Amino acid sequence: MTHSAHHPLPFISEPTATDSAISVRGLTKRFGEFTAVSGIDFDVARGEIFGFLGPNGSGKTTTMRMLTGTIAPQSGSIRILGEDVVASPEKVKRRIGYMSQKFSLFEDLTVDENLRFYAGVYDLPADEFVKQRAYVLEMAGLVGREKELTANLSVGWKQRLALGAATIHEPELLFLDEPTSGVDPVARRHFWDLLYDLAGQGVTLFVTTHYMEEATQCGRLAFMYAGRIIAEGSPREIREQHLLDIGDRDDSGRLRTASIEDVFVRLVTREREEAGR
C-alpha cells in the first residue's frame, strides 16, 4: 500500500478531487470588461496551510469568494471537499468556515451572544454548542468574559473570538481573508499558533495575506498577480526556483539568499515589465 503512494497510477495525471480539500481548474471571473480571475488552476491538500498571496486587486478576494460559493464563476470548476461548488454551493457550506479581516462580530452583542448566534446559524445541537463554546472560550482566552460586550474587547481578543465563531461548527476547511491585518505582532504570533493547532487537528487552512513574513508560515503558497497565479510551491521551493529564474546570483555565481518578499517583488516587477512591452 505504501508503495503505491510513491508511484501514482499512470492514468491519474492530476490529484483527484476527492483527496484534496480544494481543486480548481480553469477558474475565470469577469466583471464586465475586467477579468478579475483568469483561468487559474491549483490544488490544496487536506490538512495543509495554503497561503494565497497577491497585491490588492490581484484577484485573491474574488477567488476566495468563488471558493466559498458566495459568487459564481464565469467558467471553470471548483471542487471543495469533493463537492462541486459551482453546481451546488449549498452542499459544502456546513463543512467550511470563513473568517474575514472585518472579523464579522456584532460589537453590541456579548461574547456569548456572538457565539450563540453563529452556533444557531450552523444549527449546532445544544450539547455540541456547550462543548464548542467551552473550547472556543478556552482557546480565545475569554473564560470569565462571556458576558462582556464585544466592543470592549481589544483587537487581539476580537480576532481570536472571530476565529472561534468561524470554527464553532468545526469546519473541515477554513478560509481566512487577511485575518491579521491591523493586529499587533504579538497578537499575530499568538494567532498563528492557534492556526497551527487547527492544522494539527486536521483542518485545512486557506489564508490570504499580504504580510510576507506570514507567508513563510504556510506549507504551500500561490502568488496571484493580475488575475493569474504567477508562482506556486512551498516557500522554500519558490525562493529557490524563482531566484534561479530571475538569475539572482552574487558575484561568485552563488544563489543569493532572498526573502519571500524579495521574490515576490521581483516577480511582480518582471510581470509589469512584460505587460508594458
What angle do the packed helices 126-140 and 155-166 form, to 10 degrees? 150
- The values of phi and psi at residue 170, to 5°, are 50, 65
Environment class of residue 95 by beta-carbon count within 10 Å: exposed (0-12), middle (13-18) or buried (19+)? middle
- Among 26, 20, 172, 155, which residue's Cα sits nearest to residue 91? 172
H helices present in the chain, as ranges? 2-6, 60-67, 111-121, 126-140, 155-166, 185-200, 212-215, 235-246, 260-276
**Nearest approach, Cβ of residue 249 and another protein (Å):** 45
The smaller minimum CB distance to another protein, of residues 81 and 263, is found at 81
**Nearest approach, Cβ of residue 7 and another protein (Å):** 39
The smaller minimum CB distance to another protein, of residues 71 and 246, is found at 71
Name the region of 230 (left: φ>0; alpha: ψ -120 to 50; beta: rest): alpha
**Nearest approach, Cβ of residue 100 and another protein (Å):** 5
The smaller minimum CB distance to another protein, of residues 151 and 255, is found at 151
| β-pair partners for 182 | none
The smaller minimum CB distance to another protein, of residues 110 and 259, is found at 110
The smaller minimum CB distance to another protein, of residues 21 and 105, is found at 105
The smaller minimum CB distance to another protein, of residues 131 and 249, is found at 131
**Nearest approach, Cβ of residue 246 and another protein (Å):** 37
In whole angstroms, give the CA distance from residue 277 to residue 267: 15
The smaller minimum CB distance to another protein, of residues 58 and 62, is found at 62
**Nearest approach, Cβ of residue 31 and another protein (Å):** 8
Environment class of residue 156 by beta-carbon count within 10 Å: exposed (0-12), middle (13-18) or buried (19+)? middle
**Nearest approach, Cβ of residue 95 and another protein (Å):** 10
**Nearest approach, Cβ of residue 160 and another protein (Å):** 16
DSSP 98-149: EE-TTTT--TTSBHHHHHHHHHHHTT--HHHHHHHHHHHHHHHT-TT-TTSB
The smaller minimum CB distance to another protein, of residues 150 and 209, is found at 150
Cβ atoms within 10 Å of 12's Cβ, excluding its own: 8
Q: Would you tell me which residues interact with another protein (CB under 8 A)?
A: 31, 68-72, 90, 93-94, 96-98, 100-109, 113, 116-123, 149, 166, 175
**Nearest approach, Cβ of residue 102 and another protein (Å):** 3
